[in-house]
Amino acid sequence: MPEQKITTFLWFDHQAEEAAQFYTSLFPDSRIVGVQRYGEAGPGAAGSVMTVSFELAGQRYLALNGGPIFPFTEAISLQVNCDDQAEVDRLWDALTAGGGQESDCGWLKDRYGLSWQITPRRLTELLADPDPDRSQRAMRAMLQMQKIDIQALEDALVAGGATGPAE
């Protein structure tokens, strides 16, 4: 596989390898590509993991154990386009487990502090609907959700108003 021209670089405190292993377990066509370790020159402890190169769904990433200097913020997130509610639910549950945090409109932070957008393709279709009334009903419904509920979006279109996720 040819090397990507641009690779997303993720700065972790000390959990780069653990995070890469977790992420690659969630997506098909994912793998750890390589691990580099700090040498005697540091700045990390000799032999400890410095970087982990990995692929998620065929997309290359590089994770660094750089220390607590630069934490993640919501200004950068990874968006996952999901085919159905089952995929949304599976990823949402896995990424919020173990200390992750739910947020609004399909956003969450995983246990490592990295922000994700778990987005069903149907939401994208509805927001791009050429009928402005339909797209706005979908938007109003989405704005009331944390995890996106496709059926609640569809119900909002039929009802002609916004409803929250099904309880």
pTM: 0.90
pLDDT at 160: 67
Confidence of residue 50 (pLDDT cuts 50, 70, 90): very high
Per the prediction, the chain carries an average pLDDT of 94
Cα distance between residue 16 and residue 93, in whole Å:
21
* Average pLDDT of span 35-47: 95
* Average pLDDT of span 120-138: 96
Do residues 83 and 71 lie in contact, with contact meaning Cβ atoms separated by under 8 Å?
A: no
Q: Are strands 8-12 and 77-82 parallel, antiparallel or unpaired?
A: unpaired
Question: What does the block give as tokens for 158?
Answer: 């039929």
What does the CA dihedral 96, 14, 57, 128 come to, rounded to 10 degrees?
50
Distance of CA 109 to the CA centre of its chain: 8
In the chain, where are the structural domains located?
Answer: 1-70, 72-159
Cα distance between residue 73 and residue 44, in whole Å:
23
CATH number of 1-70: 3.30.720.100
* 72-159 is classed CATH 3.10.180.10: yes
